[in-house]
Amino acid sequence: MKPLTGPRTPRFLRIFRIIKLIFRPLDYLENYAQRYGDMIKIGGDNAPPFVYVSNPQAIKEIFTADPELFESGRGNGVLRYLVGDNSLLMLDGEPHQRQRRLLMPPFHGDRLREYGQLICDITETVTAEWTVGQPLLIRTYTQEITLRVILQAVFGLNQGERYTQLRHLLSTLLAAFDSPLSSTLLFFPWLRQDWGAWSPWGRFLQLKQQIKQLIFDEIRERREQGDESRTDILTLLLSARDEAGDPMTDEELHDQLMTLLIAGHETTASALVWALYWIHYLPDVRQKLLEELETLDAEGDPMAISRLPYLTAVCQETLRIYPIAPSTFIRIPKSPIEIMGYQFEAGTALMPSIYLVHHRDDIYPQPKQFKPERFLERQYSPYEYLPFGGGNRRCIGSALALLEMKLVLATILSQFELALTDNRPVKPMRRGLTIAPPGNLRMVPKQRRQQKAPAMV
Ligand code: HEM
């Protein structure tokens, strides 16, 4: 058996390790990878260890193993506060597979095509308020776009008081974790104290309750209306039945909807800010993209944009260099398991590290450089390139996220000449459990371009 190595931090110094994980998450991973290689064991003295895995062969063995060998829901415990006990993120085994089968179709095939024009229209509406010469916080806008898209997909809602309230409350709720400091709430349970609206946790719980009430009101109204002709995800879930023929309860519906709302917009909003940053930080990239967009047939449909090779490569490289989720969900073996000659005890938290795999220089030469061309020159296996995780828990929204990235970028680039207000390199920072560009990244619209976005014709 091969021995696992990793840092041996004395108990009283462990808090500093966690603080580094929160405030300098990528340095934390890279320092350990340099010292301990592609299987890094953390802890393990009194309880099963955490193991960061960045060896593609080991990741392949994890992703392709029988899903029944692992649990993940238990490892996602901290997200329970956001999404509830019945969320897909919390489930394992057959209940998890059943919910996935139910939730996947709205994010694929023809249903995805329906979102194309919607994404372009929403981008136009949201950017209509941009004024030439006036700097803007770009994240505010990417988040507004992705939130509107997911609300439409999930509820079919795009106007009305409940929709406006939901938009506002969801943005405020997620702002609770928008900096490394506020993200500490997720890492230290003892900080989660409900001292009313003046304490961060108390405020968070109140917001969550208000959102829950709005979602319950919407569910009740939809049950009363019983309109099965609608194509949104809530309608689909309302008609679902389990093996006993029973419908989902309001609580179950709420948890699943909340999961999609949260997982479905924060991540894509961050990815869009990164993409806009790289495109404007590297003028060659922007130039090549504009040239490619000009080749589009003016009558083309949004799906033609999604097939553009260079635009696709830019989105892929954006998600490679700073993957939004630095690791996949944890995989916890239910009984002892051997992977690549290493023996893991039951309860070990195996964490395929997306960031470390994406920065292996044997797979991605010059990994710190943003080079979309690498995706035009070679194909990567799902164990070398995994921004959406893999196996039985692979992100169900990956196709929507990529479509959204491409259409939003094409629409913005066709309509505005943008610039960064500051050309210094930007460092990624923690945002809850994800890694994102700093929320204060500013861009300025230099001028409106004459070119109409092809998707809008
Ligand atoms: C750029 C955007 C996104 C990124 C980078 C991303 C990334 C991920 C990752 C890494 C996972 C964990 C997979 C694993 O452990 O193997 C995941 C799971 C998930 N994602 Fe995404 N995601 C994005 C967008 C979306 C969207 C748009 C939705 C929309 C509905 C979504 C819904 C989910 C759900 C429900 C899961 C849990 C799947 C399960 O437990 O079976 N994500 N995502």
Binding site membership of 407 for ligand 1 (Cβ less than 6 Å): no
- ipTM of predicted complex: 0.99
Question: Could you identify the atom of ligand 1 that is nearest to the CA of residue 327?
Answer: 10
375 vs 105, higher pLDDT: 375
The best mutation among 395, 406, 434, 435 to test binding of ligand 1, ranked by most ligand atoms within 8 Å of the C-beta, falls on 395
Cα dihedral 397, 402, 407, 413 sign: positive
Q: Where are the domains of the chain?
A: 11-456
Give the separation between CA 60 and CA 62, rounded to whole angstroms: 5
288: left (phi > 0), else alpha (psi -120 to 50), else beta? alpha
Helix (H, G, I), strand (E, B) or coil at 40: strand
Helix (H, G, I), strand (E, B) or coil at 419: strand
Binding site membership of 325 for ligand 1 (Cβ less than 6 Å): yes
Binding site membership of 100 for ligand 1 (Cβ less than 6 Å): yes
Give the separation between CA 130 and CA 134, rounded to whole angstroms: 8
Percentage of residues in the chain having pLDDT higher than 90: 62
> What tens digit of pLDDT does each residue of 366-407 get?
999 999 999 999 999 999 999 999 999 999 999 999 999 999
- Lowest mean pLDDT of 113-127, 177-191, 197-211, name the range: 177-191
Q: Is 131 exposed, middle or buried (0-12, 13-18, 19+ CB in 10 A)?
A: exposed
How far is the centre of ligand 1, averaged over its atoms, from the C-alpha of 267 (Å)?
8
CB 413 within 8 A of CB 279: yes
3-state per-residue secondary structure call for 53-76: ECCHHHHHHHHHCCHHHEECHHHH
Query: H helices then E strands: how many in the chain?
Result: 19, 12
Binding site membership of 263 for ligand 1 (Cβ less than 6 Å): yes
CB 123 within 8 A of CB 415: no
Average pLDDT over residues 246-251: 90
Average pLDDT over residues 176-197: 74
Q: Which CATH code of 3.30.70.120, 3.20.20.120, 2.40.30.10, 1.10.630.10 fits the domain covering 11-456?
A: 1.10.630.10
DSSP string, 203-245: HHHHHHHHHHHHHHHHHHHHHHH--TT--SHHHHHHH-B-TTS
Give the separation between CA 393 and CA 399, rounded to whole angstroms: 15
End-to-end Cα, the chain, rounded Å:
62
CB 85 within 8 A of CB 73: no
Beta-bridge mates of residue 52: 40, 351
The best mutation among 388, 402, 407, 433 to test binding of ligand 1, ranked by most ligand atoms within 8 Å of the C-beta, falls on 388
